[in-house]
Amino acid sequence: VFPLVNAWGFGPQRVSAQPDSNDIKNILPCVGSGKLHIDANHLVKDLPCVKIDVNGIAQGYSVDVIAGFLEEKGVKNYLVEIGGELRIKGYKQPFGRKFQIGIEAPADNSFDEPILQKIVELDKGAITTSGNYRKYHSNGGKTVAHLMDPTTGYPFQNDMISATVYAKDAITADGYDNALMGMGLKNALQFLKHHKSMEAYFIYRNEKGVISDTATKGFYKLFKK
């Protein structure tokens, strides 16, 4: 989706205006994972214009690399965090308690003081969050979020505000939190019923536009008692 990320002003290149329908039509042939394939140890682009945005998994991957290094050194208790993506093993010292992780409530803008929506307690696994309330800009009174729909070429417009995913490692959680955001709440919950290795917590707007939250059955077990 990198061409879309760039076109909508969330990439390294500055844009003077947002793309119109003709721009999107020209970009879409260069978008989509179906235009990539694996050949031995190489990832191959089927078209030269295809470009990859690894921002969605870079932090999760980096967290796992550091966690792996710590385990190689025999560290039994750790919390690794990069950009809000975390991996945990063991217990907080010196008291031997589970690590406590706060999940932020949606803020009106990036300068607001963070408010914790929920607190989870973990002694293993990874937890990451994707949300559309931090990375966005406004255009003509309309909010444009940074998560791109590769099928339409436009930012996702659905009921989701944030998705927090718990998985065995950070790259898995980080890889799926954006995807779950794009699915919308109903489809995301249905998807997780068939992927038992992950649990998730969602903040969303209900039918009346009121901010609400829900979680999978397994994620409820992680909340601080």
Q: If you search the block for the tokens 């990859």, which residue do you land on? A: 52
Cα torsion at 148, 154, 160, 163 (round to 10°)?
0
**What is the Cα–Cα distance from 64 to 59, expressed in whole angstroms?**
9
What pLDDT does residue 57 have?
92
When mean pLDDT is compared across 14-18, 113-117, 212-216, 217-221, the lowest value belongs to 113-117
Cis peptide before 94 (omega within 30 of 0): yes
Task: Tell me the per-residue pLDDT of 177-191, one tens digit each, with 9 for 90 and over.
Answer: 999 999 999 999 999
Enter the DSSP assignment of 195.
-
Task: Tell me the per-residue pLDDT of 90-135, one tens digit each, with 9 for 90 and over.
Answer: 999 988 999 999 998 776 555 455 677 899 999 999 999 998 765 5
